[in-house]
Structure 1
């Protein structure tokens, strides 16, 4: 924990009845690096004010819209101004809000997907460099200590040359509504105007893809994908598989589904090398399974001296105590705090705007591959 003063934080969205807003606020509190000052908590100003009162915030720092937020905050002395803004609005607002904030000198922590298109994501990457601000994308699962241990072990060559990767993210939440025409028409994640180009791959498949590139350090060069909308009147994918080829010649799979009946949050990744394999499951995040040829399976856990520095700094409590999604997100906030302050931080401490660019390029390549008859489609670096 830093001994410096806390970073002044604002939020776009995340107000009353927002689950993801709660996750972000708790995560920001964990490392005691941030203090929530104000923001635009709801599209309905009255509801935003109610939320601010509930959190006992200064109502003068609760604004009706982002234009007012920017105008009023920039009018304040630099030592009082909100420094970083968390964007937790519906998908279609991520790009315009992040762009406006960056152009006005605010650091940004953004929910994924970063934007609706790869072109928009690349523009944000360019703008962050131009305006000298930090941008953290909350690919939350990269914050788990044992995912970071996995990354470190692969980078150290413990597995040998990577030859196979298999990542999946299965949920079943949409199954109860997708078979009813009226119900599915009312789901915002199936509305391209609000959700963007993709539902399943854009929402959860991109997490699995990000886990592959984050843990292995490999770049996906091309994909061959098959997506399923289940019904002709449903415009967006709810299930899909992408075969992947990586820059070291290896191949793998990214599988995602929101109609995997009764599945909850089944994200898992397995990486196989010439010397060993390694597996991790999000629903059992404290266990990392290490498999060497001809030897018993080893189960690695957080909080022990055998783990890497990146894993160690991501562990908050003693061994044997479960660390979950709030802790994982908290690690991303802690890494972002160092970047915001201009301090040094370990590679992999938080997903950057570049991971957002990679994710959008993956989504667009997958959509193109499936649309064009399941053909290999390149992903530009």
Structure 2
């Protein structure tokens, strides 16, 4: 059995990647991983140059996934890469994850997990069969104050939940969407690369995940209205979904990539019969606790009044801001605990089942909107 640092490989995440540095820094944060090699770019020369820049062994800068798998499996078991992070465009997540899981690698994957719900179910069954760890990077679940929110709700701080609201607003696609030639060149609007959905597949699913993660409730019905803005645009760029849980709790998921001027405006709010909680991603060190008949309180990370889960997820002293890198680092740390068969808390990292839930939600949203804004069961 391997011990010590986990040997990590990357598929994607090379010189032109936005998310690549986030994953690399997150992996190093907890000092649980050692980046060894990978397929860093579709251009082999760029991939090799990137590996050289990172001062990695040149023999472990691979040409493609087949080369990666054969190269690593030819090495002694205690020298092989153990976990692989998939940081490619959406359409490659499923085939790459399926190959890697089938060969016994642990996988850390960007979302969406697959292009369809059926593929997600198939992948989940393979993960269980092979006994590997599969971590899906719903990064926002790694924030200390989101974990505090989860712990407080589980402890009954809000009383009986009766309303929940999550939004994820961006405006990044606004400069491209209004001209036919420009929007045709955006890969996230290409179903062959992005999948069935742009807005809800990319960001709406994060809002959905945060509601289920923080409340512990299961959303089983949606009624959605999505907007492509232009008839020749095949994928959604905006939409709203009413949601209901198995317990009958009502809520709403709002997502937009045409919210002009917005950057990464995520807000999740949960109300109970005693109190409410609100967290905003652009102000991630504040958790607002609103009790009936009392002044609102602002809870901040690193303080002794917080839950053990929140404090374990905090890396620096109170008063110092933590952000996306820290949140991703917490997910990598939780994944490492699972890979090394150590004890870890529920919610330490999103699993393959969270991926299945997300794909089921996306498909239910699309079906509801297509059929004239009707209730659809997940």
- Normalised by the size of structure 1, how large is the TM-score? 0.98
State the match for 1:347 in structure 2.
346
Q: Aligned with 1:172: secondary structure?
A: coil
Alpha-carbon deviation of 1:247? 1.3
Alpha-carbon deviation of 1:44? 1.0
Q: Within the alignment, does 1:190 sit opposite 2:189 as a pair?
A: yes
Question: C-alpha separation between the residues in 2 aligned to 1:247 and 1:283?
Answer: 31
Question: C-alpha separation between the residues in 2 aligned to 1:17 and 1:336?
Answer: 26
Deviations 1:273-322 (A, max 9, x none): 01100100000000000000000000000001111111011000000000
Q: Within the alignment, does 1:290 sit opposite 2:289 as a pair?
A: yes
Q: Within the alignment, does 1:156 sit opposite 2:128 as a pair?
A: no
Matches within 5 A, 1:114-263: 114-263=113-262
Question: C-alpha separation between the residues in 1 aligned to 2:202 and 2:114?
Answer: 12
- Unaligned runs of 5+ residues in structure 1 are none
State the match for 1:317 in structure 2.
316
Which deviates further from its counterpart, 116-125 or 186-195? 116-125
State the match for 1:12 in structure 2.
11
Alpha-carbon deviation of 1:182? 0.4
Q: Aligned with 2:78: secondary structure?
A: coil
Question: C-alpha separation between the residues in 2 aligned to 1:293 and 1:274?
Answer: 8
Question: C-alpha separation between the residues in 1 aligned to 2:52 and 2:111?
Answer: 28
Deviations 1:227-281 (A, max 9, x none): 0000000000000000000111110000000000010000010000011001000
Alpha-carbon deviation of 1:178? 0.4
Q: Aligned with 1:363: secondary structure?
A: helix
Question: C-alpha separation between the residues in 1 aligned to 2:122 and 2:151?
Answer: 31
State the match for 2:34 in structure 1.
35
Question: C-alpha separation between the residues in 2 aligned to 1:14 and 1:191?
Answer: 21
Q: Aligned with 2:240: secondary structure?
A: strand
State the match for 2:77 in structure 1.
78
RMSD of aligned alpha carbons: 0.6
- Unaligned runs of 5+ residues in structure 2 are none
- Runs of 4 or more, structure 1, over 4 Å off, are none
Question: C-alpha separation between the residues in 2 aligned to 1:122 and 1:339?
Answer: 21
Question: C-alpha separation between the residues in 2 aligned to 1:312 and 1:246?
Answer: 30
Q: Within the alignment, does 1:299 sit opposite 2:291 as a pair?
A: no
- Normalised by the size of structure 2, how large is the TM-score? 0.99
Aligned residues: 376
Question: C-alpha separation between the residues in 2 aligned to 1:133 and 1:215?
Answer: 26
